[in-house]
Structure 1
Amino acid sequence: MPRSSRTTRRARPAAALVAALATAAALTTGAVTAPSATATGAPHVVQLGDSYSAGNGTGSYEERSCYRSPDNYGSQVAASIGATFTDVACSGGVVADMLEPRELGDASTRTATYTIDPARHPDQKAEWQRRAQTARLCGVPAQPDFSYTYTFVAGVGVGSLYTGTVSCQLVTRPQVDAVTPDTDYVFLTIGGNDIGFSTIVVNCLTLRDPSSCRQSLEAASVKAPEMVDRTKEALRAVVARSGGHAQVYLLSYPFLIDTESYAIPEVAPVYDAGAALNDLQRLGDDLQARGIAELNAEDATTQYHFVDTVKAAWGGRVHGLDPHLVADSSRAWLVPVGTPGRDVAEFVHPTQPGWDATAGALRVAVTG
């Protein structure tokens, strides 16, 4: 479940999987009352996490590195409570990205020639590098938390002309950097990419290979407890950055498929991938709910919340994908794999009705 950042100080109207799917496709809770505006202004919301928070699937994006959308659930809820909103959620996000910088995509190279007098600048390379950065040779980052890392690749000077090449790597700041003592609410989904949801989608829903599907799901189950431990560590850091002030809402993911049981391969079934996938999603919810309860118990607080009503807001499995080879996903609120006109990073992510349903579940959790 790419990565990006949007920061806006106005509310905007209007829920972990990413795409290892390209190759595969080619092959086949406690509620609190929203605070009113104070002398310092409206309450402030910060959105962290992965693609189920950023906006993949909405079809409207501010950029396509993180796929942040003005129509994601956080933007909607912020608007409904009169809050300002900062979005640093990013497609492909994992727990580590909350605390560490992340590289977005592959590095690209840029070449330029500048007139650099060797008499005035004996170190032409250093002067070339300075000018390249001043001129923003790598480009202008699309989001406030984006920047480019410049790495010198090669250069040659001929008299006063110096031609150099740099490698440009787009980077996001740690998501937690967006949290300040002014932050009242933090919304996020996280964990799906840490346990390999993209691989699960590829093996269980696209390739439908029983052996690799079973391996992916079993590996995810083993990774899940550690993922929750890392999430707890990150959420502690989030609350610390807020000065102990922010209310944190961790949201569950919707069910991915519309049935409790579906066996693969369909021609000669040997493995119930549907039952195993649903069991994994329930395990994830149970572990995350337990983690949130443990965080609250540590400090005798109630500021951590697990929004486990997302699946109910989606009608249970009603709006999941039909996993069969001949599928009817007409009721799905997820983008089916291979949908024409959609980016790979949008596959198996909520369409706008899904984002709206997730927003509804969170709105109830926040406002009571």
Structure 2
Amino acid sequence: MPRPPRPVVVLATALVAAAALLSAGPADALTRAPAAGPAQKQVVQLGDSYSAGNGTGSYEERSCYRSPRNYGSQVAASIGASYVDRACSGGVIADILKPRDVGDASAKSATYSIDPATYPDQRAEWLRRAQTERLCGVPAQPDFSYRYTFVAGAGAGSLYTGTVSCQLVVHPQIDAVTPATDLVFVTMGGNDLGFSTIVTNCLVLRDPSSCRDTLESARANAPAMVERAKDALRAVEARSGGRAEIYLLGYPYLVDTESYAIPEVAPTYDAGAALNELQRYGDQLQARGVAELNAEPGADRYHFVGTVKQAWGGHAHGLDPHVVADNSNAWLVPVGTPGRDVAEFVHPTQPGWDATAGALRAAVGG
């Protein structure tokens, strides 16, 4: 007998397979469905320059100094997570919750043809066009915008010339946090306690009186700073819908010695000992603050990463505070380094960022 055409065989086979599938129970059908893979985690970075990326030398822009090589970006990549960086150089705790002006305002002028018969308020129409045409420029980051403030203007018939003040504004960092956020990484508090003033008085000018006053003021303000930090972290946790794991990181030691007296020619104040003690005190307060947050009803997603100093080898990679210094082992950018911006001074070089990433990676478990 001749063989039936091949299409009939194919059709018959398909019908048998379909009948077998229809006769299978619900459990059999479910086992045949492909398993869905785990959803990609979402990471948001908040905080100051020790989170943004100052010192790496590689930046997306130089207003906030956000770097694709900072610790948060590294850890997010290692766990296969998406990553949003909202940390900003010079940031204080308030910037987590409120917008912040960055840099000095600049003035921009333009002349537009504005018929006064059609637009009796030429000034208002000029400002609208300036904003529509982005006279102040195009913001470099999604959370940047310009605030337009009309300065002066004059019309001559249908021509109107105006000047506007352009102020760069960074949106509240917390705006990046959503109920889809899984992990939040943050450093905060250093600028609230006067980081730049401490560096200036204790490591640059080396004035014993000013250094002592600055460090004592920072210590006195530290408890209130931690309370503000706790409020900000509560707000971040609430914005995530109680879903995000929040990691607050400590800072590395700034100097490579436990004791350093100033002025060197006739020492009267051990600035090194006082600075180190302040940094340890800050870690203690932040760790206690995180423990207090976790003790609140329904809260258990806060973590303090107090191993950053250990990951940096303790004092091993801090700055040499002496006038004639040997910073060959430093993982911080020395003050006055040629080719570096002022905003990079006393911030981690790439090995330092890598060490902080290692400490966080161990804490996250990635």
| TM-score over 0.5 for the pair | yes
Structure 1 distance, partners of 2:352, 2:73, is: 14
Aligned to 1:119, which of 106, 110, 117? 117
Question: Match for 1:61 among 59, 63, 66?
Answer: 59
Which of 361, 364, 368 is matched with 2:362 structurally? Answer: 364
Shift of 1:197: 1.1
**Structure 2 vs 1, CA of residues 38 and 184 (structure 1 numbering), >3 Å: closer, same or farther?**
farther
Could you tell me which amino acid in structure 1 is paired with residue 271 of structure 2? A
Q: Deviations over 1:209-259 (max 9, x none)?
A: 000000000000011000000000000000000000000000000000000
Tell me, in whole angstroms, the C-alpha distance in 2 between the residues paired with 1:217 and 1:61.
31
Match of 2:230 in 1: 232
Structure 1 residue corresponding to 2:129, chosen from 126, 131, 140 = 131
Looking at structure 2, the residues matched to 292 and 251 of structure 1 have their Cα atoms a distance apart, in angstroms, of 11
Match of 1:78 in 2: 76
**Where does residue 301 of structure 1 map in the other structure?**
299
Helix, strand or coil for the counterpart of 1:316? Answer: coil
Identity among equivalent pairs (%): 77
Instruction: Name the residue aligned to 2:9.
Output: none
Give the Cα separation in 1 of the matches to 2:122 and 2:39.
Answer: 50
**How many pairs align?**
332
* CA–CA separation in structure 2 for the residues paired with 1:41 and 1:308: 29
Shift of 1:38: 7.2
Asked if residue 97 in structure 1 is aligned to residue 95 in structure 2, the reply is yes
Q: Distance in 2 between matches of 1:254 and 1:291?
A: 19
Which structure features the higher share of helix residues? 2
> Structure 2: how far apart are the matches of 1:144 and 1:230?
26
Aligned mates of 1:195, 1:117 — CA distance in 2: 54
Q: Which has the larger radius of gyration?
A: 2
SS at 2:320's partner residue? coil
Query: C-alpha deviations, 1:37-91, integer Å up to 9, x for none?
Result: 9768310000000000000000000000000000000000000000000000000
1:1-368 matches, cutoff 5 A? 41-367=39-365
Amino acid corresponding to residue 234 of structure 2 in structure 1: R
- CA drift of 1:302 comes to 2.5
Deviation at 1:299, TM superposition (A): 2.3
Instruction: Give the 3-state SS of the residue equivalent to 2:355 in structure 1.
Output: helix
Instruction: Name stretches of at least 5 consecutive residues in structure 2 with no aligned partner.
Output: 1-34
DSSP-derived class of the 1:164 partner: strand
Q: C-alpha separation between the residues in 1 aligned to 2:286 and 2:280?
A: 10
- Secondary structure at the residue paired with 1:106? coil
Within 2, Cα distance between the matches of 1:94 and 1:82?
29
- Deviation, structure 1 residue 205: 0.3
> Residues 298, 38 of structure 1: CA spacing in aligned structure 2 closer, same or farther, 3 A cutoff?
farther
Indicate the SS of the match to 1:188: strand
Runs of 4 or more off by more than 6 Å in structure 1? 37-40
Partner-residue secondary structure (3-state), 2:101: strand
The DSSP-based 3-state class of the residue aligned with 1:143 is coil
TM-superposed deviation, 1:300:
4.7
> Residue type matched to 2:226 in 1?
V
Residue number in structure 1 paired with 2:30: none
Letter in 2 for 1:137: L
Equivalents in 2 of 1:123, 1:358: separation in Å? 56
Q: How many Å separate the matches in 2 of 1:313 and 1:38?
A: 37
More RCO (CA 8 Å, sep 6+): 1
Change (3 A) 1:223 1:83: same
Change (3 A) 1:313 1:38: farther
Unaligned stretches of 5+ in structure 1?
A: 1-36
Amino acid at match of 1:92: G
Q: Partners of 1:286 and 1:132 in 2: how far apart? A: 51
Measure how far apart 1:301 and its partner are: 3.3
TM-score by length of 2: 0.89
- Determine helix, strand or coil for the equivalent of 2:140: coil
Q: Distance in 1 between matches of 2:38 and 2:280?
A: 41
Counterpart code for 2:237? V
Counterpart-to-counterpart distance in 1, 2:321 and 2:66: 27
What letter matches 1:170 in structure 2?
Answer: L
Supply the AA of the counterpart residue of 1:99.
Answer: L
Q: Aligned partners of 2:162 and 2:44: how far apart in 1?
A: 40
Instruction: Please state whether the residue corresponding to 1:298 is helix, strand or coil.
Output: coil
2:17 matched to which residue of 1?
none
Tell me the distance in 2 between the aligned counterparts of 1:182 and 1:86: 12
1:163 partner letter: T
1:225 corresponds to which letter in structure 2?
A: P
